[in-house]
Structure formats: structure tokens, C-alpha cells
Amino acid sequence: MTCIICPMGCQLEVTRIQETGEIPAYSVTGNTCPRGEAYAQKELTNPTRTLTCTVAVRGGIRCLVAAKSKIEVPRDLQLACMQVIRRISVKAPVKTGDVLYEDILNTGADIVACDDVESK
């Protein structure tokens, strides 16, 4: 696995070790800093991603605004989140940082605007 936390791109070798309860444990080597080990452990037990998207805008000078999740959401919910986002639209004006959708799919992640869209 290649670590993506910093530009070093460490080549990690991950080995599954003894099960500890219901959560598997892994041994990580090849990382040059502790962040690489934390990345591998998280990626194998609970992978998450920042969701980037566009949201429809009504009455704006543009019909879409760039947006993203304020916090990472579980990777397994990315498609379901996009299906929700595809059905929403917001009224112009939109300002960077505006919350466009709160707590998408009960993940705790708000969808926020990454750009401004003025009204027509």
C-alpha cells in the first residue's frame, strides 16, 4: 500500500496479525513516520474520504457550485451521499463556506460551498 498522507509516498507493507476481539489488527512496516502507520490502520479498518461534488444552484449566474464535505465520510457511503446531493438544489446567492446540506446520511458531515455564486 502506498501512503498518501505526505509527498514521501512511503511503500507500506501491511500484515494481518492476531485478531483482537471483533477488530482485526495489522502490523505496518515501511513508513518513515508514525502517520503512515495510522493511515494504513485506518484505511484497513474504517476507510473515509472527503466527498467533493457540485450542487445545483437556482437563480444564480452559474447553475452549479463546487462543494465538499466538511469532514470525511465513510468510503462505503460515498455513492449514497452523491445520490442525495444529486437531488438537492440551493437558492443563490451562495457564499464560500455556506452549509448546503446538513449531516448527510447521518454521518455528521455537512456539505459546504467551496465558491461563491451570485444571483442573476
- State the SS3 of 10-41: CECEEEEEEEECCEEEEEEECCCCHHHHHHHH
Q: Does 20 have pLDDT greater than 80? A: no
Q: Does 19 have pLDDT greater than 90? A: no
pLDDT band at 58 (very low <50, low <70, confident <90, very high): very high
Topology of domain 52-113 in CATH is CPE0013-like fold (3.10.530)
What is the domain partition of the chain in residue ranges? 13-46, 52-113
Dist. CA 119–CA 84, nearest whole Å: 24
Q: What percent of the chain has pLDDT over 70?
A: 95
Q: What is the pLDDT of residues 62-118, one digit of tens each?
A: 999 999 999 999 999 999 999 999 999 999 999 999 999 999 999 999 999 999 999
